[in-house]
């Protein structure tokens, strides 16, 4: 039986299929009955799942994350599609075609990476060129960079997402930098390459997109700063030291690229280059979220359901 993709599910549809389960939580209703809330996912998106009249034994048997076979029915609740689950059973990952479940960029990864390298060739400063070259020459790191998602849930949350996000940011930067000659273009381009490079260590993408132990303990911002310092130390050991002002400027871009403390930024932007990277990062992330939400929202009105991450519903009717 062919897999019924999340994107294909309509209201009032009987569901009898395998899905990737994420973030299952055992909760109590106001009457004290147990139920399980979870996300059911495949490569086309995710949907809320609810299992009422649940038990601790059922919850404990659910892989976290992993694959499950469910039987149930889809329904609209407050204009959001969800699946009410009647039964749920773990499935051996070896019996699952992972291509059905891990979303991936629809872009040509090899072409994107070649274009990233060409755009970074615009860096003229000798020391920054050495740093960029050292990162690009790290084959295992670049393989991970081309494969990694940019996030678990929010933006570019698919294989190749980190590469696509970085590629988009470089294109935007090269378009707007000529308008701001006071901004150090070489620092911006190098900072864009490095700002999320730590996600190659932060995120795992074997069975599902999840955080590694290092990702939970250190995070991608800390990991990126460590990577930068390791590359600089290796160059210094070869007699090619990097000016500390360059390392501090790049480190600041990494530490400040989330823009606000409440968004997990250890520092607030304090240089023109850090501001530019922060705003380009946020622009590309937000527009990717908007496009993905509009494409995958199951409703049939001009407005999507409420999107917590964006703080709004989205109007999707186009002016032709």
CA atoms within 13 A on the CB side of 137: 9
DSSP H helices in the chain: 56-61, 109-120, 126-136, 139-147, 161-176, 185-195, 199-202, 213-217, 219-237, 244-256, 272-296
* Mean pLDDT of the region 269-285: 97
Evaluate if residue 267 carries a pLDDT over 70. yes
Asked if 186 and 277 count as a contact pair (C-beta separation under 8 A), the reply is no
CA distances (Å), origin 172, targets 48, 192, 255: 35, 11, 21
Evaluate if residue 204 carries a pLDDT over 80. no
Evaluate if residue 253 carries a pLDDT over 70. yes
| pLDDT score for 10 | 87
Measured in degrees and rounded to the nearest 5, phi and psi for residue 260 equal: -140, 145
The domain limits of the chain are 6-99, 102-293
**What is the rounded distance in angstroms from the CA atom of residue 247 to the CA atom of residue 229?**
8
**What is the rounded distance in angstroms from the CA atom of residue 15 to the CA atom of residue 154?**
26
Place 98 in a pLDDT band, splitting at 50, 70 and 90: confident
**What is the rounded distance in angstroms from the CA atom of residue 58 to the CA atom of residue 70?**
12
Place 301 in a pLDDT band, splitting at 50, 70 and 90: confident
* Mean pLDDT of the region 61-74: 91
- Collapsed DSSP state (helix, strand, coil) of residue 92: coil
Task: Tokens for 42, please give them.
Answer: 């495949």
Summarised one tens digit per residue, pLDDT across range 115-133 is 999 999 999 999 999 999 9
- Token match 């509009």: residue? 294
Written as one string, the DSSP assignment of 148-209 is --S-SSSSS-SBTHHHHHHHHHHHHHHHHGGG-TTS-HHHHHHHHHHHTTTHHHHEEESSSE
| pLDDT score for 231 | 97
**What is the rounded distance in angstroms from the CA atom of residue 197 to the CA atom of residue 165?**
11
| pLDDT score for 236 | 96
- Collapsed DSSP state (helix, strand, coil) of residue 48: strand
| CATH code 3.40.50.970 for 6-99 | no
**What is the rounded distance in angstroms from the CA atom of residue 84 to the CA atom of residue 15?**
9
Place 176 in a pLDDT band, splitting at 50, 70 and 90: very high
Please give the model's pTM, rounded to 2 decimal places.
Answer: 0.79
**What is the rounded distance in angstroms from the CA atom of residue 131 to the CA atom of residue 178?**
23
**What is the rounded distance in angstroms from the CA atom of residue 131 to the CA atom of residue 129?**
5
Reported residue count of the chain is 320
Evaluate if residue 235 carries a pLDDT over 90. yes
Q: Which of 171, 168, 165 is nearest to 196 (CA)?
A: 165
Q: Which of 142, 143, 133, 144 is nearest to 214 (CA)?
A: 144
Evaluate if residue 300 carries a pLDDT over 80. no
Task: Tokens for 17, please give them.
Answer: 């299929």
* Percent of the residues in the chain that have a pLDDT greater than 70, as a whole number: 98
* Mean pLDDT of the region 73-77: 90
């Amino acid at each position: 039986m062919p897999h019924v993709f999340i994107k294909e599910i309509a209201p009032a549809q009987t569901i009898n299929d395998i899905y990737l389960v994420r973030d299952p939580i055992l909760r109590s209703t106001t009457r004290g009955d147990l139920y399980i809330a979870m996300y059911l996912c495949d490569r086309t998106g995710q949907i809320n799942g609810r299992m009422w009249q649940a038990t601790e034994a059922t919850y404990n048997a659910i892989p976290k994350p992993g694959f499950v076979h469910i039987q149930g029915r889809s329904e609209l609740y407050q204009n959001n599609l969800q699946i009410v689950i009647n039964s749920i059973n773990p499935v051996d990952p070896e019996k699952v075609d992972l291509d059905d479940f891990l979303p991936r960029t629809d872009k040509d990864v090899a072409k994107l990476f070649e274009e990233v390298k060409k755009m970074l060739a615009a860096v003229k400063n000798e020391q920054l060129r050495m740093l960029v070259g050292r990162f690009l020459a790290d084959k295992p790191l670049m393989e991970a960079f081309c494969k990694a998602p940019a996030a678990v849930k929010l933006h570019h949350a698919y294989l190749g997402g980190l590469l696509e996000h970085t590629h988009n940011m470089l294109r935007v930067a090269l378009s707007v930098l000529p308008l701001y000659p006071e901004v150090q273009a070489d620092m911006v381009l190098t900072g864009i390459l490095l700002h999320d490079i730590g996600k190659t260590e932060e995120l795992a993408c074997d069975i599902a997109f999840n955080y590694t132990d290092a990702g939970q303990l250190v995070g991608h911002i800390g990991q990126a700063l460590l990577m930068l310092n390791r590359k600089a130390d290796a160059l210094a050991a070869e007699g090619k030291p990097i000016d500390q002002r360059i390392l501090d400027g790049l480190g600041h871009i990494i530490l400040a690229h989330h823009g606000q403390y409440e968004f997990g930024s250890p520092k607030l932007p304090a240089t023109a280059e850090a501001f530019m990277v922060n705003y380009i990062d946020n622009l590309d992330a937000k527009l990717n979220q908007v496009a993905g939400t509009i494409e995958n929202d199951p409703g049939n009105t001009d407005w999507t359901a409420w999107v917590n991450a964006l703080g709004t519903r989205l109007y999707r009717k186009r002016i032709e």
